[in-house]
A and B are shown apart, each in its own frame.
Chain A
Amino acid sequence: MLRAGFGRARRRASSAVCGVVLGALLLAAGPARSAQAQEQARSVVGRAAPAFALKDLHGQVERLSEYRGKVVLLNFWASWCGPCQVEMPTFARWQSQYGGKLQVVGVSMDDDASAAEAVVRKLKIDYPVVMGTAGMGNRYGGVYGLPVSFVIDAEGRVRAEYEGGNHVNEIKAEIAHLLAGSGR
């Protein structure tokens, strides 16, 4: 018992020392000071939404410019992304609910279109879904993990970016705000 107790105490002391040393080293060797500036440079929020013309799952070319005058929810997702598929049915409901003032556009980052098609069928998604590219992801500031959503206003400016799958309420509030502003 004593040995075990001593062992635990020694491990805690060792951890404390390591914590201090590690903290100092990580501050020196870790994230660059310019990370925040790089993040600001990367973000497309507040800028004109990068244009795209990509084929949807039916082979039709979808252009962002076609939706000028509507609020656009651009949602990057993939068939292997569980959190993506939780929020997509909600987006489909919004598409029906907000009608002509909102356009949801899904961007699949799947390597294989057939995987995306299977999910679209399973979830009964009826908004356009295009096959995204690495270049498009980079033009939107880097889509390095999924899901990522962008809200674009009726003038084609990116108003907000949401990374991760826990932002449905925030996205809805932003869309409602923009739709209210556009006279809905």
Chain B
Amino acid sequence: MGLVLGVVLRACPVEAHADAGHTPAVTKAAGSEAIPASARMEPAELAAMIRAGHAPVILQVGFTKLYTEAHIQGAIHAGPMVSTDGRVLMRETVEHMDRHALLVIYCGCCPWEKCPNIRPAFAALRKMGFTDVKAVYLPNNFGTDWVRPGYPTVTGG
């Protein structure tokens, strides 16, 4: 099921989502690079990949306490991008990763439009040479858009 869903999502034009009014085609926060619609990943698509056993590398680029509370199954903490320590952690985490493999990032600390981490993380990874970076689209926050719908989550803390 997960594979089928993944194939269908990839086959469908991204404009279909934007046309339907789910998300704006391009979003941008002040002072950071916009994330094009083609680089966004819907939560259901990632959840299906995880459930099918085909999870990509997933990076949480948000805050430590929020990661400790709960995170996407298999995700690595590599942030937050607003702090120097977070940026160093990001560099160290991805240093030896394949530049052409799918790399999925997410934050969800705040609504997508207000998130201080997701766009800087996307821009930093692209700058480092990663060619297939996707950002999980969490319009409200991690709880509302990932945990509450029942997608694969690890809780702790």
Q: Which A residues lie within 8 Å of B150 (CB)? A: 31-32, 34-35, 38
Min CB distance B20 to A, Å, is 7
Q: Which of B1-15 contact A (CB under 8 A)?
A: 1-2, 4-5, 8-9, 11-13, 15
B141 — which chain A residues lie within 8 A by C-beta?
Answer: 144-146, 163-164
Minimal beta-carbon separation of A144 from chain B (angstroms): 3
CA distance A34 to B144 in the complex (A): 15
Q: Does the CB pair B114–A143 fall under 8 Å?
A: no
- CA separation between A108 and B51, bound complex, in Å? 34
Q: Is A25 an interface residue (CB 8 A)?
A: yes
Residue of B nearest to A37 (CB): B150
With a cutoff of 8 Å between Cβ atoms, the chain A residues found around residue B1 in the complex are 25, 28-29
CB-CB under 8 A from B148, the residues of chain A are: 35, 38-39
CA distance in complex: A142, B80 (Å): 19
Q: Give the shortest distance, in Å, between A106 (CB) and chain B (any CB).
A: 15
Contact B68 A134 (CB under 8 A): yes
Other-chain residue from B2, B44, B69, B108 in contact with A142 (beta carbon distance below 8 A): B69
Smallest Cβ-Cβ distance to B1: which chain A residue? A29
Binary contact track B79-116/A, C-beta < 8 Å → 1, others 0: 01011000000000000000000000000111100101
Which stretch (A12-20, A97-105, A149-157, A172-180) binds chain B? A12-20
Distance between B139 CB and nearest chain A CB, rounded to angstroms: 11
Query: In this assembly, does A138 line the interface, its C-beta being within 8 Å of a C-beta of chain B?
Result: yes
The answer for the CA separation of A39 and B144 in the assembled complex, in Å, is 10
Q: Is the CB of A146 within 8 A of B109?
A: yes
Contact at B157–A137, with CB atoms within 8 Å?
A: yes
Q: Which residues of A contact B111 (CB under 8 A)?
A: 83, 145, 164
**Chain A interfacial residues counted at CB < 8 A:** 40
- CB proximity to B under 8 Å, residues A1-35: 11, 14-15, 18-19, 21-22, 25-26, 28-32, 34-35
Cβ contact within 8 Å between B44 and A83: no
Instruction: Verify if A71 is at the interface (C-beta below 8 Å from B).
Output: no
Q: In the complex, are the beta carbons of A82 and B110 less than 8 A apart?
A: yes
In the complex, whether A61 has a CB less than 8 A from a CB of chain B is no
Q: Does A111 contact B (CB under 8 A)?
A: yes
B31 CB within 8 Å of chain A = no
A94-120, CB < 8 A from B: 109-112
A29 touches B44 (CB 8 A): yes
Q: Report A119-137 CB contacts with B as 1/0, cut-off 8 Å.
A: 0000000000000111101
15 A–B contact pairs at CB < 8 A? Answer: A28-B1, A29-B2, A29-B5, A29-B48, A29-B51, A35-B149, A39-B148, A81-B110, A138-B70, A138-B155, A138-B156, A145-B109, A145-B111, A145-B142, A145-B144
| Interface contacts beyond A34-B150, A83-B114, A134-B68: sample of 15 additional A-B pairs, CB < 8 Å, sorted by A | A14-B13, A15-B13, A19-B16, A19-B20, A29-B47, A32-B149, A35-B148, A78-B109, A80-B82, A80-B109, A109-B65, A111-B65, A111-B80, A145-B140, A163-B141
